[in-house]
Homo-oligomer: A and B are copies of this chain.
Amino acid sequence: MANLMEDELFRAFTTYAAIVIVKMLLMGPLTAYYRITRGSFANIEDVARKSADEQKKLLRTHPDVERVRRCHLNDLENIVPFLGIALLYTLTGPELSSALLHFRVFAGSRILHTISYVCALPQPCRSVGYFAGFIVTSSMAYRVLSTVLFL
């Protein structure tokens, strides 16, 4: 088992997988930050100490909070498939340089996507981030299926 982590290819996968997972995980505290600063909560128990009037106000949705939540969901929709495909792709034994190219472009594209989404940068910033990541995952999926296919 320890051998796997002596392999440069698997270490590269591990590094970039951990980076994008941590990026995705940080959307949680970011949502909490927006909920508190914008005063927009989803659950009655989160505003239990306030008066009934204030509770009503605090339980409304806020566009900034919804924006961060959409960004988080988009991460789940794209980073999770990346993790699955990238693991299988790594196990097919591609060239290290080719794998690094895939991983780096993906990590960069998702960071661009997050910044574009949360800061509401003008299009096509967000779309470029999304499609770059999509193309990387598709390219790896193609390699996996063309190498390993066993139906």
Contact = CB atoms under 8 A, between A and B. Distances in A.
A45 interface: yes
Given A1-B4, A78-B28, A22 B141 contact: yes
B78 A14 contact: no
Given A14-B148, A144-B18, A43 B67 contact: yes
A81 B25 contact: yes
Interface residues of A, number: 63
A3 to B, nearest CB: 8
Contacts of A8: 150
Contact of A120 (B43, B77, B147): B43
A22 B92 CA distance: 17
A37 interface: no
Given A28-B134, A81-B25, A91-B5, A150 B45 contact: no
A88 B150 contact: no
Contacts of A14: 88, 91, 144, 148, 150
